[in-house]
Amino acid sequence: MFTVRVLPLVLVSMLAACGRQESVPPAVQSVSASQTPATEASEPGTPAVVPYANMPKIAPIGVRIDKHLDVPESARGPAIDPAKGYRLQDLGDGLYMVTEGAYQSMFLVYDKGVVVVDAPPTYAAKLPAAIAEVTKNPITHVVYSHSHKDHIGGMPTLGGKPIIIAQEETLRLLKRDNDPDRPLPTVTFKDAYTLNVGGKKLELSYHGNGHEPGNIFISAPKQKVLMVVDVVFPGWMPWRRFAVAQDVFGSIAQVDKIGSMEWDTFVGGHVTRTGTHADVAVQAEFYRDLKAAAGKALSTTKPGEGVNPQDLNNPWAVFDDYIDRVVVQCVDTLTPKWQSRLGGYDVYIWDQCYSMEQALRID
Ligand SMILES: [Zn+2]
């Protein structure tokens, strides 16, 4: 699991020049000509050929050590036809999921039209073609999961004048944003709304702030499908900082809420595939481990310990050093168990630990 770290020769000679040869680890002594790293003549910004010495195995924010960890099989979704650029998944009784591998949306076909749920700008221009694969019916309704542009900013490419349904907080936020790419909802609700069209049904409900105010649960009871965007990421590390949750513990509570509900297929709005109850349980377990690891690191790390005495009159420096050491401990605690269980673990684990230590201290 641990790769032998080899110091670039330039660093070895620097250490030697400083008279600190004795601090060079044994691995360096055995560098052979064939192992000589090719970093000597590399330009700034060129990726390292070998890991840097004394860097954490998981690269901290802003640092790249090496290629990211392999994506585990459990995080990979079905192949996407590159000619189409999206994948259509039949969820039963007229309901379909569309994805291009990073974002997900749905549409529901009924006798006279189509209800679209979200229009991510990454592939919204292809949504009409995806819908045309199964029906010639027009788009009559759009449901917004929430106000964020990366999930609904592709609206202009859908055309027409559909009825747009959203939670009332989403209307408030979109009025503020005043963005022509995100037309205002024409129908809003506070707690719950049932859309009945031609015998097909979507149940929309609001469970409070987590990811952001107005983010709703979208249930298709007959198809046993639940869609909640930016809260659960089947097979994957959540996007950075609890998927930029405005209320970290609200978002974690919604993971448990999702796990307690009845459905067979989960649509999370992101990444490669739909989810199962097992996926939701894995994310809940990861969040429990993350909370425990950050909590223990906060309680066992001493502020100011090891800080340069000349910096002790700088409270920001003292606290930044404290938080950094808390987060290093948090990452080191979680890595052995989780690095091969979640796709993209190493990409965002530092973000998650920084976000959790902050939430535990101030929320
Ligand atoms: Zn969002």
In angstroms, what is the span from residue 319 Cα to ligand 1's centroid? 30
Instruction: Please give the backbone phi and psi of residue 211, each rounded to the nearest 5 degrees, phi first.
Output: -65, -50
Ligand 1 centroid to Cα of residue 244, in Å, is: 8
Q: Is pLDDT at 25 greater than 60 in this prediction? A: no
The pLDDT, as a whole number, for residue 45 is: 53
Query: CA 190 to CA 146: how far, in whole Å?
Result: 13
Q: How far does the centroid of ligand 1 lie from the alpha carbon of residue 43, in Å? A: 38
* Confidence at residue 62, expressed as pLDDT on a 0 to 100 scale: 79
Is residue 50 predicted with pLDDT exceeding 60? no
Query: Cα(165) to centroid of ligand 1, in Å?
Result: 17
Task: Tell me how far the alpha carbon of residue 217 lies from the centroid of ligand 1, in angstroms.
Answer: 13
Mean pLDDT in residue range 298-320: 90
> Residue 318 C-alpha to ligand 1 middle, in angstroms?
34
Unique residue bearing structure tokens 């954490």: 56
Measured CA distances, 192 to 17, 147, 188, 236 (Å)? 71, 17, 10, 29
Tokens 């535990």 correspond to 360
| Structure-token match 């039209």, residue found | 113
Distance 250 CA to ligand 1 centre (A): 14
What rounded mean pLDDT belongs to the chain? 87
Question: Rounded mean pLDDT of 208-218?
Answer: 98
CA 246 – ligand 1 centroid, Å: 10
Residue 150 confidence (pLDDT)? 98
What is the spatial distance between Cα 355 and Cα 294, in angstroms, rounded to a whole number?
Answer: 9
Which of residues 55 and 98 earns the better pLDDT score?
98
CA of 212 to the centre of ligand 1 (A): 7
Q: What percent of the chain has pLDDT over 90?
A: 78
Tell me what percent of the residues of the chain surpass a pLDDT of 70: 84
126 C-alpha to ligand 1 centroid (Å): 21
User: What distance in angstroms lies between residue 176's CA and the mean position of ligand 1's atoms?
Assistant: 16
Ligand 1 center to residue 149 CA distance, Å? 8
If you measure from the C-alpha of residue 211 to the centroid of ligand 1, how many angstroms do you get, rounded to a whole number?
7
Please answer whether residues 193 and 170 qualify as being in contact, where contact means their C-beta atoms are separated by less than 8 angstroms: no
pLDDT digits (tens, 9 = 90+) for 116-137: 999 999 999 999 999 999 999 9
Please report which confidence band the pLDDT of residue 43 belongs to, taking 50, 70 and 90 as the band edges: low
Alpha-helix runs per DSSP H in 18-119 = 26-29
* Gap from CA of 150 to ligand 1 centroid (Å): 7
Centre of ligand 1 from the C-alpha of residue 242, in Å: 11
Instruction: Compute the average pLDDT of residues 46-70.
Output: 68
pLDDT at 46: 53
pLDDT for the residue 314? 93
**Structure confidence at residue 59 (pLDDT):** 80
Cα(247) to ligand 1 centroid in Å equals 12
Other Cβ atoms closer than 10 A to 360:
17
Task: Measure 349 CA to ligand 1 centroid, in angstroms.
Answer: 19
Q: What is the mean pLDDT of residues 163-180?
A: 98
Q: For residues 248 and 360, what is the distance between their CA atoms, to the nearest angstrom?
A: 10
* Tokens at 120, concatenated: 């991510």
CA 262 – ligand 1 centroid, Å? 24
Give residue 304 CA to ligand 1 midpoint distance, Å.
37
CA of 69 to the centre of ligand 1 (A): 25
pLDDT digits (tens, 9 = 90+) for 227-277: 999 999 999 999 999 999 999 999 999 999 999 999 999 999 999 999 999
Under the banding of pLDDT at 50, 70 and 90, the label for residue 309 is: confident
C-beta neighbour count of 233 within 10 angstroms = 24
Q: Which residues on neighbouring strands pair with residue 105, listed in sequence order?
A: 98
Binned at pLDDT 50, 70 and 90, residue 57 comes out as confident
Contacts of 321 (CB under 8 A, 6+ apart): 303, 304, 306, 307, 311
CA of 303 to the centre of ligand 1 (A): 35
**CATH classification of 81-276 is 3.30.565.10, yes or no?**
no
CB 235 within 8 A of CB 101: no
Q: Which residues contact 94 (CB under 8 A, 6 or more apart)?
A: 108, 109, 110, 200
Residue 201 to residues 53, 196, 310, 315: CA-CA distances in angstroms? Answer: 58, 5, 66, 57
Domain boundaries, the chain: 1-53, 81-276
CA distance 340 to 349: 12
Using alpha carbons only, give the angle 264, 266, 268 rounded to the nearest 5 degrees.
Answer: 175
pLDDT of res. 63: 77
Q: What is the torsional sign of CA 44, 50, 54, 56?
A: positive
